[in-house]
Structure 1
Amino acid sequence: MNKVLLATRNRKKLVELQRILDGALGAHRIALLGLDDVEQYPELPETGLTFGENALIKAREGCRRTGLPTIADDSGLAVDALNGMPGVFSARWSGQHGDDRANFQLVLDQIADVPDEQRAASFVCTVALVLPEGKEHLVDGRQSGQVLRAPRGDGGFGYDPIFLGDGQDRTNAELTPAEKDAVSHRGKALREMAKLIAKVLPPTAA
């Protein structure tokens, strides 16, 4: 079975990606490893100004350090009323990396006076795949919707509790994992990545 590194320590993201890849790849199975599953190395700062630049920074370093095909994603919430922010700063919008509640509460506070019809936003995700022989691939996914005035739901992570996708009556945090995978920015990007993986990694026996 092919081993592929996902350059993250976020276990929820690891589970989510494995679930999506398993569903998309079918018999073309891979074993997905996180950063906690390989020899530790210093992670580079995400200094890119776009999701793609940050995804490539992480994927290139993971591949260089481990010799494994490496997937990395950068994703975030782009709020129209905040001129596309938090954007690439989504994970650390409140100042502390990965504090989901503080991050989405700051967004709610910043647009508290914005009327409902002007609270449009999009989840954006870019996924990079870097192969040991040096080839690089990027795919994108987007989910459009709006920011609610208060969080709803206990599922998902990040800004899911305050995001209502277009055509939905439940936030991303209220959807089942399968429902979220079907519509989310990351689900869309990862299904495209799964197609690439099936092409560039040779099938192996499980």
Structure 2
Amino acid sequence: MMSEKILVVSTDNNHKISEIQDIMKDMPIRVLSKKEAGLGHIEVIEDGSTLEENAIKKALELAKKTDAIVIADDTGLFVDKLHGEPGVYSSRYSGESATYSDNNIKLLKELGGIPLEERTAKFKTVIAIVLEDKSIRTVCGECIGRIGFELRGENGFGYDPLFIVDGYDKTFAELGDEVKNKISHRAKALFNLKEELKNIIEDEENEGSGNK
């Protein structure tokens, strides 16, 4: 039986840590926040041109301080009619110190006069994984929908009150965490992360037993 692996997540958000711990509960993996791992605050300038670049940059910076497996993620909203904007700039769409409200107001303004059927968009989350040998892998998850005309729902954050999920006709902010945590881009990315780690562990176990 392989010894337990340590997985350090580039966040101190307890909700995110609990979510990942729950997903990994049947695996020989102990999930820790940066703080729990004793790594403290790490400043990273997210100046990459893609989600992948930003996620990898954050993960590599953290990996300099530990020999454990490290993950970091980046998320963006990509609106087709706006040629993929806000994309990698989603959190600072209306400026470096933008609030969620500022970003939503700008998005609605940019889509002014455009009918619902042409307001197609997707949320995408990329998770970068740095393994113990410092090799890098990435996984992602996407959720398709449309941008509504007004804010709806109280349970979300960011663009959630505007993003109407395909197949539900409700915004992420209206669906609630129980449904959102099963169908969201982040949930899909975390599921793919689990599958990737399963494969890595199985490969290591096979190599250790001489089966290739």
Other structure's SS at 2:26 match: coil
Q: 1:98 to 1:132 in 2, by over 3 A?
A: farther
Secondary structure of 1:59's partner? helix
Q: CA deviation at 1:20?
A: 4.9
Question: 2:6 matched to which residue of 1?
Answer: 3
- Cα distance in 2, alignment partners of residues 21 and 141 from structure 1: 18
Q: Secondary structure at the match of 1:196?
A: helix
Q: Give, in whole Å, the separation in 1 of the partners of 2:152 and 2:20.
A: 24
Q: Does 1:33 align with 2:32?
A: yes
Q: What's the TM-score once normalised by structure 2's chain length?
A: 0.83
| AA in 2 matched with 1:158 | G
Q: Distance in 2 between matches of 1:98 and 1:71?
A: 26
Contact 1:62 1:68 in 2 (8 A): no
How far apart, CA to CA, are the structure 1 residues paired with 2:16 and 2:22? 10
Q: 1:194 to 1:150 in 2, by over 3 A?
A: same
Alpha-carbon spacing, 1:105–1:2, altered in 2? closer, same or farther (3 Å): farther
Computed over aligned residues only, the root mean square deviation of the Cα atoms, in angstroms, reads 2.3
Q: Distance in 2 between matches of 1:29 and 1:174?
A: 35
Give the distance between the partners of 1:50 and 1:111, measured in 2 at CA: 23
- Give the Cα–Cα distance (whole angstroms) in 2 for the partners of residues 44 and 192 of structure 1: 25
Shift of 1:140: 1.4
**Conserved? CA contact 2:151–2:162, under 8 Å:** yes
Say which one has the larger Rg.
2
What are the Cα deviations for residues 89-134 of structure 1, in whole angstroms up to 9, with x where unaligned?
Answer: 0011121357222212211121122222211111011111112311
What is the rounded CA distance, in whole Å, between the counterparts of 1:173 and 1:156 in structure 2? 4
Q: Tell me which amino acid in the other structure corresponds to 2:151.
A: P
CA distance in 1 between partners of 2:197 and 2:114 (Å): 42
Could you tell me whether the CA contact under 8 Å between 1:146 and 1:163 is conserved in 2?
yes
Q: Secondary structure at the match of 1:112?
A: coil
Q: Per-residue deviation at 1:154?
A: 1.6
Q: CA deviation digits over 1:134-179, x for unaligned, max 9?
A: 1211111111110001111122322111000111121111122221
Aligned equivalents of 2:147 and 2:98: distance in 1?
A: 19
Aligned residue for 2:69? 69
Query: What's the counterpart of residue 193 of structure 2?
Result: 193
Q: Which position in structure 1 is the counterpart of 2:166?
A: 166
Superposition misfits of 4+ residues, deviation over 4 angstroms? none
Aligned positions of 1:29-178 closer than 5 A = 30-37=29-36, 38-97=38-97, 99-178=99-178
Q: Which has the higher helix share?
A: 1
- 8 A contact 1:59–1:129 mirrored in 2: yes
Deviation at 1:18, TM superposition (A): 3.3
Deviation at 1:64, TM superposition (A): 1.0
Check conservation: 2:157, 2:173, Cα contact below 8 A. Answer: yes
- Alignment size in residue pairs: 199
Q: Structure 1 unaligned runs (5+)?
A: none
Deviations 1:4-30 (A, max 9, x none): 222135x2xx5245325523x342164
Q: 1:113 to 1:145 in 2, by over 3 A?
A: same
User: Closer, same or farther in 2 for the Cα pair 1:119/1:17, shift >3 Å?
Assistant: farther
User: Residues 197 and 184 of structure 1: is their aligned pair in 2 closer, same or farther, counting only changes over 3 Å?
Assistant: same
Tell me the secondary structure at the aligned position of residue 114 of structure 2.
Answer: coil
